[in-house]
């Protein structure tokens, strides 16, 4: 998403995709749907949120990254309000578990096999498509000049991002800042070639999540903290440090 929008702040958490997936998943849970239906609803919510952000941001003209991010932030706030409403209407016995899930909870990820296979497939496909991502990072016009089907490639990015976001949300809840901070850190250490950035981001993002989950389980043991709070605590200062270093670069 950062390549597509050419903006370092782009990620599903900021653009509202995670919020759309969470609202759809919570609605499915409230209605008593099966796990597969909840996953499908979350995918539809993430995809719908992404397309809605772009549709509103485009309006009657072409969208700009700043306008797109502003639209995403506003819609994310709306999804947060919808989530609060669903929580208020939920039975008290389910409230604590739903709150922990929304803030990130790996305790109930008993069968992550399908998600891990999806991660491997997306990482492999993204690495193979790294040359296209490198071209797209230079702009839509440059990509079109060299023969890249920009519209189709953009739609593929939307679909893959929505699918990955939906399964991540339904597996471990809404966990922010990993997708925002990790790519910056990888680019700072290894450059902007997506043949390196893509697989390294997957490995480093998983490492940060494991560290945050371990801290969440041990800091106040036997009480467990929400993982999303830990990733925000780690991610916000790290992101500020990275942005300050970027501003000092010539």
Domain boundaries defined on the chain: 2-248
> Taking the CB of residue 132, how many other CB atoms lie within 10 A of it?
20
Q: What is the pLDDT of residue 124?
A: 92
Residue 128: per-residue pLDDT: 92
Q: How many helices (H) and strands (E) does the chain have?
A: 13, 0
Q: Give the SS3 label for residue 110.
A: coil
pLDDT attached to residue 60: 52
pLDDT for the residue 155: 81
The model's pTM: 0.75
DSSP letters of 49-97? HHHHHHHHHHTTS---HHHHHHHHHHHHHHHHHHHHHHHHHS-HHHHHH
Q: What is the mean pLDDT of each run of 10 residues along the chain (250 residues)?
A: 75 79 83 79 83 73 70 84 83 69 73 83 90 84 84 83 80 80 86 89 90 87 80 77 62
Both tokens of 150, joined, read: 């920009």
Task: Find, among 32, 14, 5, the residue nearest to 79 by Cα.
Answer: 14
Other CB atoms within a 10 A radius of the CB of residue 35 amount to 11
* Angstrom distance (rounded) from CA 131 to CA 114: 27
CA-to-CA distance for 27 and 41, rounded, in angstroms? 9
What integer pLDDT is reported at residue 196 of this predicted model?
A: 92
Name the DSSP letter for residue 224.
-
Q: Are 150 and 143 in contact (CB under 8 A)?
A: yes
* CATH code given to domain 2-248: 1.10.3470.10
Tokens coding 179 = 């997708």
């Amino acid at each position: 998403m950062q390549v597509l929008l050419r903006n370092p702040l782009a990620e599903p958490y900021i653009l509202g995709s995670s919020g759309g997936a969470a609202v759809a998943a919570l609605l499915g849970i409230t209605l008593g749907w099966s796990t597969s239906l909840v996953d499908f609803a979350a995918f539809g919510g993430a995809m719908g949120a992404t397309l809605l952000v772009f549709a509103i941001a485009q309006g009657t003209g072409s969208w700009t990254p700043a306008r797109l991010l502003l639209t995403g932030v506003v819609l994310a706030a709306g999804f947060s309000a919808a989530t609060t409403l669903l929580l208020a209407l939920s039975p008290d016995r389910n409230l604590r578990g739903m709150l922990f899930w929304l803030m990130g909870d790996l305790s109930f990820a008993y069968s992550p096999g399908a998600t891990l296979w999806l991660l491997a497939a997306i990482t492999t496909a993204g690495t193979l498509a790294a040359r296209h991502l490198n071209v797209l990072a230079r702009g839509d016009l440059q990509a079109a000049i060299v023969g890249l089907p920009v519209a189709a490639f953009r739609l593929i990015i939307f679909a893959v991002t929505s699918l990955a976001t939906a399964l991540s949300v339904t597996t471990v809840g809404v966990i922010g800042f990993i997708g925002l901070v990790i790519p910056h850190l990888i680019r700072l250490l290894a450059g902007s070639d997506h043949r390196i950035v893509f697989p390294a981001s997957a490995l480093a993002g998983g490492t940060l999540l494991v560290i945050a989950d371990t801290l969440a389980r041990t800091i106040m043991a036997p009480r467990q903290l929400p993982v999303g709070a830990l990733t925000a605590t780690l991610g916000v200062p790290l992101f500020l440090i990275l942005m300050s270093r970027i501003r000092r670069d010539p």
